[in-house]
Copies of this chain bind each other. A is one copy, B any other.
Amino acid sequence: MLASTKLERRAQDSGQQMYDLVSELYPICRSITGNGVRETLRRIARNIPLQIREVTSGTRVFDWTVPREWNIRDAWVKDSSGARVIDFQRSNLHVVSYSVPVHRKMTLSELRPHLHTLPDRPDWIPYRTSYYQQTWGFCLAHRDLERLRDDEYEVCIDATLEDGYLSYGELFIPGHTSEEVLISCHVCHPSLANDNLSGVAVAVALAQALQETPGRYSYRFLFIPGTIGAITWLALNERLANRIRHGLVLAGLGDGAPLSYKKSRRGDAEIDRVAQHVLRHISESTVIKDFSPYGYDERQFCSPGFNLPVGRLSRAPHGEFPEYHTSADNLDFVSAASLAESLFACRQILEVLEENGYYISLNPNCEPQLGKRGLYTAIGGSVDSGKCEMAMLWMLNLADGRHSLLDIAERSGLRFQSIFEAASLLVSHGLLQKELPSNDIGPVPQV
Protein backbone atom coordinates (compact mmCIF):
# COMPACT_ATOMS: atom_id res chain seq x y z
CA MET A 1 0.00 0.00 0.00
CA LEU A 2 1.22 3.47 -0.81
CA ALA A 3 1.59 5.80 2.11
CA SER A 4 3.66 8.65 0.86
CA THR A 5 3.46 10.81 3.93
CA LYS A 6 4.66 7.98 6.11
CA LEU A 7 7.37 7.36 3.58
CA GLU A 8 8.43 10.97 3.63
CA ARG A 9 8.71 10.98 7.42
CA ARG A 10 10.73 7.79 7.48
CA ALA A 11 12.96 9.07 4.70
CA GLN A 12 13.74 12.14 6.78
CA ASP A 13 14.56 9.98 9.79
CA SER A 14 16.88 8.03 7.55
CA GLY A 15 18.64 11.22 6.40
CA GLN A 16 20.83 11.44 9.46
CA GLN A 17 21.60 7.70 9.40
CA MET A 18 22.68 8.00 5.77
CA TYR A 19 24.82 11.03 6.55
CA ASP A 20 26.44 9.09 9.40
CA LEU A 21 27.30 6.21 7.07
CA VAL A 22 28.83 8.65 4.56
CA SER A 23 30.91 10.11 7.40
CA GLU A 24 32.03 6.68 8.57
CA LEU A 25 33.16 5.59 5.09
CA TYR A 26 34.66 8.94 4.07
CA PRO A 27 38.23 8.48 5.44
CA ILE A 28 38.80 5.09 3.77
CA CYS A 29 41.12 5.09 0.73
CA ARG A 30 39.15 3.19 -1.90
CA SER A 31 40.12 2.36 -5.46
CA ILE A 32 38.79 -0.11 -8.01
CA THR A 33 40.45 -2.95 -6.08
CA GLY A 34 42.13 -3.42 -2.74
CA ASN A 35 41.59 -3.32 0.95
CA GLY A 36 39.78 0.05 0.90
CA VAL A 37 36.91 -1.45 -1.09
CA ARG A 38 36.98 -4.58 1.06
CA GLU A 39 36.76 -2.55 4.27
CA THR A 40 33.94 -0.46 2.80
CA LEU A 41 31.96 -3.56 1.86
CA ARG A 42 32.52 -5.03 5.32
CA ARG A 43 31.07 -1.93 6.94
CA ILE A 44 28.09 -1.92 4.57
CA ALA A 45 27.55 -5.56 5.51
CA ARG A 46 26.99 -4.48 9.10
CA ASN A 47 23.82 -2.76 7.86
CA ILE A 48 22.53 -5.19 5.27
CA PRO A 49 23.30 -8.88 4.58
CA LEU A 50 25.72 -8.16 1.74
CA GLN A 51 27.49 -10.97 -0.13
CA ILE A 52 31.10 -9.95 -0.76
CA ARG A 53 32.48 -11.38 -3.99
CA GLU A 54 36.13 -11.59 -5.06
CA VAL A 55 37.14 -11.98 -8.71
CA THR A 56 40.74 -13.01 -9.50
CA SER A 57 43.08 -10.58 -11.28
CA GLY A 58 43.50 -11.59 -14.89
CA THR A 59 39.93 -12.82 -15.33
CA ARG A 60 38.74 -11.87 -18.82
CA VAL A 61 35.53 -9.85 -18.70
CA PHE A 62 34.36 -9.09 -22.22
CA ASP A 63 36.95 -6.74 -23.77
CA TRP A 64 38.57 -6.10 -20.39
CA THR A 65 40.77 -7.93 -17.88
CA VAL A 66 40.32 -7.73 -14.12
CA PRO A 67 43.39 -5.71 -13.11
CA ARG A 68 45.94 -6.45 -10.46
CA GLU A 69 45.02 -5.44 -6.96
CA TRP A 70 46.33 -2.11 -5.72
CA ASN A 71 47.05 -1.39 -2.08
CA ILE A 72 48.73 1.60 -0.54
CA ARG A 73 50.25 2.03 2.93
CA ASP A 74 51.77 5.48 2.76
CA ALA A 75 53.02 8.11 0.33
CA TRP A 76 54.80 11.43 0.63
CA VAL A 77 57.11 13.96 -0.91
CA LYS A 78 59.75 15.29 1.48
CA ASP A 79 61.87 18.35 0.86
CA SER A 80 65.54 18.40 1.67
CA SER A 81 64.75 19.34 5.27
CA GLY A 82 62.78 16.09 5.59
CA ALA A 83 59.43 17.86 5.90
CA ARG A 84 56.50 16.12 4.19
CA VAL A 85 55.36 18.75 1.66
CA ILE A 86 52.80 16.28 0.29
CA ASP A 87 51.41 13.70 2.69
CA PHE A 88 48.99 10.85 1.88
CA GLN A 89 48.16 10.68 5.60
CA ARG A 90 46.48 14.05 5.37
CA SER A 91 44.35 13.21 2.30
CA ASN A 92 44.17 10.06 0.26
CA LEU A 93 43.45 12.24 -2.78
CA HIS A 94 47.14 13.24 -2.77
CA VAL A 95 48.12 10.05 -4.60
CA VAL A 96 47.03 9.28 -8.15
CA SER A 97 44.99 6.12 -7.71
CA TYR A 98 46.79 2.99 -8.96
CA SER A 99 50.19 4.73 -8.86
CA VAL A 100 53.00 2.20 -9.18
CA PRO A 101 55.45 2.12 -6.25
CA VAL A 102 58.25 4.67 -6.35
CA HIS A 103 60.93 5.71 -3.92
CA ARG A 104 63.68 8.03 -5.05
CA LYS A 105 65.13 11.50 -4.94
CA MET A 106 64.59 13.96 -7.72
CA THR A 107 64.65 17.64 -8.55
CA LEU A 108 61.48 19.70 -8.75
CA SER A 109 61.67 19.70 -12.51
CA GLU A 110 61.87 15.92 -12.55
CA LEU A 111 58.98 15.71 -10.10
CA ARG A 112 56.84 18.35 -11.78
CA PRO A 113 55.33 16.19 -14.57
CA HIS A 114 53.99 13.88 -11.84
CA LEU A 115 52.13 16.66 -10.01
CA HIS A 116 48.44 17.45 -10.75
CA THR A 117 46.68 20.62 -9.60
CA LEU A 118 43.67 22.76 -10.40
CA PRO A 119 44.99 26.27 -11.17
CA ASP A 120 41.41 27.61 -11.29
CA ARG A 121 40.62 26.26 -7.83
CA PRO A 122 43.98 26.78 -6.12
CA ASP A 123 42.86 25.46 -2.69
CA TRP A 124 41.39 22.18 -3.87
CA ILE A 125 43.17 18.88 -4.41
CA PRO A 126 42.08 17.15 -7.63
CA TYR A 127 41.22 13.45 -7.79
CA ARG A 128 43.09 11.55 -10.48
CA THR A 129 43.47 7.90 -11.46
CA SER A 130 45.67 5.87 -13.76
CA TYR A 131 44.20 2.39 -13.67
CA TYR A 132 45.42 1.05 -16.96
CA GLN A 133 48.65 2.97 -17.63
CA GLN A 134 51.54 2.20 -15.33
CA THR A 135 52.63 5.52 -13.92
CA TRP A 136 52.58 7.38 -10.62
CA GLY A 137 51.66 10.85 -9.51
CA PHE A 138 50.61 13.18 -6.76
CA CYS A 139 47.69 15.60 -6.60
CA LEU A 140 47.85 18.77 -4.56
CA ALA A 141 46.40 22.23 -4.12
CA HIS A 142 47.77 24.61 -6.73
CA ARG A 143 48.66 27.04 -3.95
CA ASP A 144 50.88 24.35 -2.41
CA LEU A 145 52.51 23.61 -5.73
CA GLU A 146 53.44 27.27 -6.07
CA ARG A 147 55.20 27.13 -2.68
CA LEU A 148 57.56 24.33 -3.77
CA ARG A 149 61.11 25.63 -4.18
CA ASP A 150 63.85 24.22 -6.32
CA ASP A 151 65.15 21.51 -4.07
CA GLU A 152 65.96 17.85 -3.97
CA TYR A 153 62.81 15.94 -3.04
CA GLU A 154 62.42 12.46 -1.69
CA VAL A 155 59.43 10.84 -3.31
CA CYS A 156 57.80 7.74 -1.91
CA ILE A 157 54.68 5.83 -2.86
CA ASP A 158 54.60 2.76 -0.67
CA ALA A 159 52.04 0.81 -2.72
CA THR A 160 51.71 -2.66 -4.17
CA LEU A 161 50.20 -3.62 -7.51
CA GLU A 162 50.00 -7.40 -7.50
CA ASP A 163 47.78 -10.26 -8.55
CA GLY A 164 44.83 -10.37 -6.20
CA TYR A 165 41.13 -9.71 -6.49
CA LEU A 166 38.48 -7.27 -7.54
CA SER A 167 35.94 -7.07 -4.70
CA TYR A 168 32.31 -6.14 -4.90
CA GLY A 169 29.16 -6.52 -2.84
CA GLU A 170 25.83 -7.97 -3.91
CA LEU A 171 22.51 -8.24 -2.13
CA PHE A 172 19.55 -10.11 -3.55
CA ILE A 173 16.14 -9.56 -1.96
CA PRO A 174 13.67 -12.07 -3.36
CA GLY A 175 10.18 -10.91 -4.27
CA HIS A 176 7.03 -12.64 -5.47
CA THR A 177 8.43 -13.01 -8.97
CA SER A 178 11.85 -13.53 -10.41
CA GLU A 179 11.65 -10.27 -12.33
CA GLU A 180 14.36 -8.04 -10.98
CA VAL A 181 14.98 -4.42 -10.23
CA LEU A 182 18.67 -3.57 -10.27
CA ILE A 183 20.09 -0.90 -7.95
CA SER A 184 23.72 -0.14 -8.58
CA CYS A 185 26.24 2.25 -7.05
CA HIS A 186 29.99 2.56 -7.23
CA VAL A 187 32.37 2.07 -4.29
CA CYS A 188 35.72 2.89 -5.89
CA HIS A 189 36.21 6.54 -5.00
CA PRO A 190 38.41 7.53 -2.05
CA SER A 191 37.52 10.49 0.18
CA LEU A 192 34.79 11.94 -1.99
CA ALA A 193 31.46 12.32 -0.25
CA ASN A 194 28.92 13.00 -2.95
CA ASP A 195 30.69 10.89 -5.57
CA ASN A 196 29.72 8.35 -4.42
CA LEU A 197 29.30 7.70 -0.72
CA SER A 198 25.93 9.44 -1.13
CA GLY A 199 24.84 6.76 -3.57
CA VAL A 200 26.15 4.02 -1.30
CA ALA A 201 24.26 5.40 1.68
CA VAL A 202 20.99 5.77 -0.24
CA ALA A 203 21.35 2.24 -1.60
CA VAL A 204 21.92 0.85 1.90
CA ALA A 205 18.86 2.67 3.28
CA LEU A 206 16.78 1.51 0.31
CA ALA A 207 17.87 -2.10 0.81
CA GLN A 208 16.98 -1.89 4.50
CA ALA A 209 13.52 -0.65 3.65
CA LEU A 210 12.91 -3.26 0.95
CA GLN A 211 13.93 -6.13 3.17
CA GLU A 212 11.00 -5.48 5.45
CA THR A 213 8.26 -6.67 3.09
CA PRO A 214 8.78 -8.63 -0.09
CA GLY A 215 7.22 -7.01 -3.14
CA ARG A 216 6.24 -8.05 -6.61
CA TYR A 217 9.81 -7.67 -7.84
CA SER A 218 13.03 -9.18 -6.61
CA TYR A 219 15.71 -6.58 -5.94
CA ARG A 220 19.41 -6.87 -6.69
CA PHE A 221 21.78 -4.35 -5.17
CA LEU A 222 25.32 -3.96 -6.49
CA PHE A 223 28.07 -2.09 -4.65
CA ILE A 224 30.77 -2.23 -7.29
CA PRO A 225 33.86 -0.44 -8.54
CA GLY A 226 32.88 1.89 -11.40
CA THR A 227 33.24 0.64 -14.99
CA ILE A 228 35.35 -2.48 -14.36
CA GLY A 229 33.00 -3.58 -11.59
CA ALA A 230 29.90 -3.23 -13.75
CA ILE A 231 31.65 -4.95 -16.64
CA THR A 232 32.80 -7.77 -14.37
CA TRP A 233 29.34 -8.29 -12.91
CA LEU A 234 27.72 -8.28 -16.36
CA ALA A 235 30.33 -10.68 -17.76
CA LEU A 236 29.87 -13.13 -14.91
CA ASN A 237 26.07 -12.80 -14.78
CA GLU A 238 25.11 -12.46 -18.41
CA ARG A 239 22.10 -14.73 -17.97
CA LEU A 240 20.85 -12.91 -14.91
CA ALA A 241 20.74 -9.68 -16.90
CA ASN A 242 17.69 -11.03 -18.74
CA ARG A 243 15.69 -10.82 -15.55
CA ILE A 244 16.28 -7.12 -15.07
CA ARG A 245 13.01 -5.32 -15.74
CA HIS A 246 14.04 -1.93 -14.37
CA GLY A 247 17.19 -0.46 -12.93
CA LEU A 248 18.64 2.61 -11.31
CA VAL A 249 22.21 3.74 -10.98
CA LEU A 250 22.53 5.89 -7.84
CA ALA A 251 25.22 8.55 -7.93
CA GLY A 252 25.67 12.07 -6.59
CA LEU A 253 22.61 12.10 -4.34
CA GLY A 254 23.79 14.20 -1.41
CA ASP A 255 24.43 17.67 -2.83
CA GLY A 256 22.05 20.60 -2.83
CA ALA A 257 21.00 20.63 -6.49
CA PRO A 258 17.50 19.47 -7.52
CA LEU A 259 16.97 15.80 -8.28
CA SER A 260 17.72 14.79 -11.84
CA TYR A 261 16.99 11.62 -13.75
CA LYS A 262 18.92 10.49 -16.76
CA LYS A 263 16.91 8.23 -19.04
CA SER A 264 18.00 4.80 -20.13
CA ARG A 265 19.25 4.29 -23.68
CA ARG A 266 15.73 3.12 -24.60
CA GLY A 267 14.34 6.47 -23.53
CA ASP A 268 10.80 5.19 -23.11
CA ALA A 269 11.29 2.32 -20.71
CA GLU A 270 8.84 2.05 -17.84
CA ILE A 271 11.54 3.18 -15.39
CA ASP A 272 12.02 6.30 -17.54
CA ARG A 273 8.34 7.15 -17.44
CA VAL A 274 8.00 6.34 -13.76
CA ALA A 275 11.02 8.41 -12.73
CA GLN A 276 9.76 11.36 -14.74
CA HIS A 277 6.32 11.13 -13.15
CA VAL A 278 7.73 10.92 -9.63
CA LEU A 279 10.26 13.72 -10.07
CA ARG A 280 7.78 16.07 -11.71
CA HIS A 281 5.43 15.67 -8.77
CA ILE A 282 8.25 16.17 -6.24
CA SER A 283 9.21 19.57 -7.64
CA GLU A 284 9.12 21.58 -10.82
CA SER A 285 12.84 22.19 -10.56
CA THR A 286 13.72 18.53 -11.02
CA VAL A 287 15.51 17.73 -14.24
CA ILE A 288 15.01 15.00 -16.84
CA LYS A 289 17.92 14.32 -19.15
CA ASP A 290 18.19 12.17 -22.22
CA PHE A 291 20.57 9.26 -22.24
CA SER A 292 24.11 9.88 -23.29
CA PRO A 293 26.89 7.31 -23.28
CA TYR A 294 28.94 9.31 -20.77
CA GLY A 295 28.47 9.14 -17.02
CA TYR A 296 28.43 6.28 -14.52
CA ASP A 297 27.69 2.59 -14.91
CA GLU A 298 24.54 3.18 -16.95
CA ARG A 299 27.15 3.25 -19.74
CA GLN A 300 27.67 -0.47 -19.29
CA PHE A 301 24.10 -1.50 -18.48
CA CYS A 302 22.95 0.45 -21.54
CA SER A 303 25.64 -0.80 -23.91
CA PRO A 304 24.01 -2.10 -27.10
CA GLY A 305 24.51 -5.78 -26.28
CA PHE A 306 22.54 -5.40 -23.03
CA ASN A 307 20.42 -2.29 -23.60
CA LEU A 308 18.90 -2.70 -20.16
CA PRO A 309 16.17 -0.35 -18.94
CA VAL A 310 18.50 1.26 -16.43
CA GLY A 311 18.44 5.00 -15.75
CA ARG A 312 20.33 7.11 -13.27
CA LEU A 313 19.15 9.16 -10.34
CA SER A 314 21.42 12.04 -9.36
CA ARG A 315 21.29 15.60 -8.19
CA ALA A 316 23.95 17.99 -9.62
CA PRO A 317 24.77 16.82 -13.14
CA HIS A 318 27.72 14.49 -13.48
CA GLY A 319 30.91 16.43 -14.06
CA GLU A 320 29.15 19.79 -14.21
CA PHE A 321 29.67 21.04 -10.66
CA PRO A 322 33.05 22.50 -9.71
CA GLU A 323 33.48 20.31 -6.63
CA TYR A 324 33.28 17.17 -8.80
CA HIS A 325 36.39 15.03 -8.42
CA THR A 326 38.10 17.39 -5.99
CA SER A 327 38.73 17.59 -2.27
CA ALA A 328 35.80 20.02 -2.09
CA ASP A 329 33.46 17.04 -2.54
CA ASN A 330 33.70 16.54 1.20
CA LEU A 331 31.34 16.04 4.13
CA ASP A 332 30.24 19.68 3.97
CA PHE A 333 29.12 19.22 0.38
CA VAL A 334 26.43 16.69 1.27
CA SER A 335 23.53 16.95 3.69
CA ALA A 336 21.14 14.64 5.49
CA ALA A 337 18.21 16.53 3.98
CA SER A 338 19.35 15.95 0.41
CA LEU A 339 20.04 12.31 1.11
CA ALA A 340 16.57 11.99 2.64
CA GLU A 341 14.86 13.54 -0.37
CA SER A 342 16.87 11.27 -2.69
CA LEU A 343 15.80 8.22 -0.71
CA PHE A 344 12.20 9.43 -0.80
CA ALA A 345 12.36 9.73 -4.58
CA CYS A 346 13.85 6.25 -4.90
CA ARG A 347 11.15 4.75 -2.76
CA GLN A 348 8.42 6.52 -4.67
CA ILE A 349 9.86 5.27 -7.95
CA LEU A 350 9.99 1.71 -6.67
CA GLU A 351 6.47 1.93 -5.29
CA VAL A 352 5.13 3.07 -8.63
CA LEU A 353 6.99 0.21 -10.33
CA GLU A 354 5.56 -2.22 -7.80
CA GLU A 355 1.98 -1.04 -8.11
CA ASN A 356 1.78 -0.08 -11.75
CA GLY A 357 -0.57 -2.49 -13.46
CA TYR A 358 -3.52 -2.93 -15.76
CA TYR A 359 -7.13 -3.06 -14.63
CA ILE A 360 -10.36 -4.06 -16.31
CA SER A 361 -13.67 -2.40 -15.59
CA LEU A 362 -16.35 -4.91 -14.69
CA ASN A 363 -18.99 -2.37 -15.80
CA PRO A 364 -17.50 -1.05 -19.02
CA ASN A 365 -20.81 0.02 -20.57
CA CYS A 366 -21.55 3.52 -19.27
CA GLU A 367 -20.41 4.67 -15.85
CA PRO A 368 -21.34 2.44 -12.93
CA GLN A 369 -23.61 4.08 -10.40
CA LEU A 370 -21.13 5.31 -7.81
CA GLY A 371 -23.83 6.95 -5.70
CA LYS A 372 -25.56 3.73 -4.66
CA ARG A 373 -22.18 2.48 -3.41
CA GLY A 374 -21.55 5.60 -1.36
CA LEU A 375 -18.73 6.68 -3.67
CA TYR A 376 -20.30 9.90 -4.89
CA THR A 377 -21.56 13.18 -3.47
CA ALA A 378 -25.21 12.60 -2.62
CA ILE A 379 -26.57 16.03 -3.50
CA GLY A 380 -25.83 16.60 -7.19
CA GLY A 381 -25.51 19.82 -9.07
CA SER A 382 -22.59 21.41 -7.25
CA VAL A 383 -19.45 22.06 -9.22
CA ASP A 384 -16.69 20.45 -7.17
CA SER A 385 -16.66 16.69 -7.32
CA GLY A 386 -13.32 16.52 -5.63
CA LYS A 387 -10.05 15.00 -6.65
CA CYS A 388 -10.96 11.52 -5.46
CA GLU A 389 -14.06 11.39 -7.64
CA MET A 390 -12.04 12.58 -10.64
CA ALA A 391 -9.49 9.83 -9.98
CA MET A 392 -12.32 7.27 -9.85
CA LEU A 393 -13.87 8.58 -13.06
CA TRP A 394 -10.54 8.49 -14.90
CA MET A 395 -9.82 5.02 -13.57
CA LEU A 396 -13.22 3.69 -14.66
CA ASN A 397 -12.97 5.35 -18.04
CA LEU A 398 -9.54 3.99 -18.90
CA ALA A 399 -9.74 0.58 -17.18
CA ASP A 400 -9.82 -1.27 -20.47
CA GLY A 401 -6.73 -3.40 -19.92
CA ARG A 402 -4.73 -1.24 -22.31
CA HIS A 403 -3.89 1.63 -19.98
CA SER A 404 -1.58 1.10 -17.02
CA LEU A 405 -2.11 3.06 -13.83
CA LEU A 406 0.84 5.21 -14.90
CA ASP A 407 -0.80 5.85 -18.29
CA ILE A 408 -3.94 6.93 -16.47
CA ALA A 409 -2.01 9.15 -14.05
CA GLU A 410 -0.21 10.82 -16.95
CA ARG A 411 -3.33 11.31 -19.04
CA SER A 412 -5.36 12.68 -16.14
CA GLY A 413 -2.58 14.85 -14.77
CA LEU A 414 -3.18 13.31 -11.35
CA ARG A 415 -0.53 11.73 -9.12
CA PHE A 416 0.03 8.01 -9.45
CA GLN A 417 -0.91 7.63 -5.81
CA SER A 418 -4.37 9.13 -6.35
CA ILE A 419 -5.02 6.83 -9.27
CA PHE A 420 -3.75 3.82 -7.37
CA GLU A 421 -5.95 4.63 -4.39
CA ALA A 422 -8.98 5.07 -6.65
CA ALA A 423 -8.21 1.73 -8.29
CA SER A 424 -7.95 0.01 -4.93
CA LEU A 425 -11.24 1.53 -3.76
CA LEU A 426 -12.98 0.47 -6.97
CA VAL A 427 -11.56 -3.04 -6.74
CA SER A 428 -12.87 -3.30 -3.18
CA HIS A 429 -16.33 -2.34 -4.49
CA GLY A 430 -16.22 -4.97 -7.20
CA LEU A 431 -16.06 -2.44 -10.00
CA LEU A 432 -12.57 -3.20 -11.25
CA GLN A 433 -10.40 -6.26 -11.55
CA LYS A 434 -6.64 -6.23 -11.71
CA GLU A 435 -5.09 -8.02 -14.64
CA LEU A 436 -2.37 -10.48 -13.82
CA PRO A 437 0.90 -9.35 -15.34
CA SER A 438 1.62 -11.54 -18.34
CA ASN A 439 5.33 -10.91 -18.35
CA ASP A 440 6.21 -12.84 -15.22
CA ILE A 441 9.13 -15.11 -15.92
CA GLY A 442 8.50 -17.70 -13.25
CA PRO A 443 9.24 -18.34 -9.61
CA VAL A 444 12.10 -16.69 -7.77
CA PRO A 445 15.31 -18.49 -8.69
CA GLN A 446 17.92 -19.74 -6.26
CA VAL A 447 20.81 -17.29 -6.20
**A residues adjacent to B (C-beta < 8 A):** 61-64, 96-97, 116, 126-133, 135, 137, 227, 230-231, 234-235, 238, 265, 292-294, 299-300, 302-307, 319, 324-325, 361, 363-369, 371-372, 378-383, 385, 390, 393-394, 396-400, 412
Q: How far is the CB of A75 from chain B (nearest CB, A)?
A: 17
Contacts of A131 in B (CB 8 A): 380
- A126–B127 Cα gap in the complex (Å)? 71
Q: Do A397 and B302 form a contact, CB below 8 Å, given A324-B383, A381-B325?
A: yes
- A303–B366 Cα gap in the complex (Å)? 5
Integer count of this chain's copies in the complex: 3
Q: Once the chains bind, are A132 and B367 in contact (CB under 8 Å)?
A: no
Q: Once the chains bind, are B129 and A365 in contact (CB under 8 Å)?
A: no
Q: Once the chains bind, are B64 and A366 in contact (CB under 8 Å)?
A: yes
- A324–B128 Cα gap in the complex (Å)? 63
Q: How far is the CB of A390 from chain B (nearest CB, A)?
A: 6
Contacts of A292 in B (CB 8 A): 390, 393-394, 412
- A381–B131 Cα gap in the complex (Å)? 10
Q: Once the chains bind, are B381 and A126 in contact (CB under 8 Å)?
A: yes
Q: Do A305 and B366 form a contact, CB below 8 Å, given A378-B133, A381-B126?
A: yes
- Closest chain B residue to A326 by CB distance? B381
Q: Once the chains bind, are A397 and B304 in contact (CB under 8 Å)?
A: yes
Q: Once the chains bind, are A381 and B129 in contact (CB under 8 Å)?
A: yes
- A300–B397 Cα gap in the complex (Å)? 9
Q: Once the chains bind, are B304 and A63 in contact (CB under 8 Å)?
A: no
- Closest chain B residue to A390 by CB distance? B294
Q: Which 6 residue pairs across A and B have the least CB separation, nearest first?
A: A305-B364, A305-B365, A293-B397, A293-B393, A304-B400, A63-B368
Q: Once the chains bind, are B130 and A363 in contact (CB under 8 Å)?
A: no
- A227–B385 Cα gap in the complex (Å)? 16
- A367–B295 Cα gap in the complex (Å)? 12
- A398–B128 Cα gap in the complex (Å)? 29
- Closest chain B residue to A128 by CB distance? B381
Given pairs A62-B368, A304-B396, 8 additional interface contacts (CB within 8 A) = A62-B365, A234-B366, A292-B390, A293-B367, A299-B367, A302-B397, A305-B365, A305-B366
- For A399, give its contact among B62, B63, B304, B307 (CB under 8 Å): B304
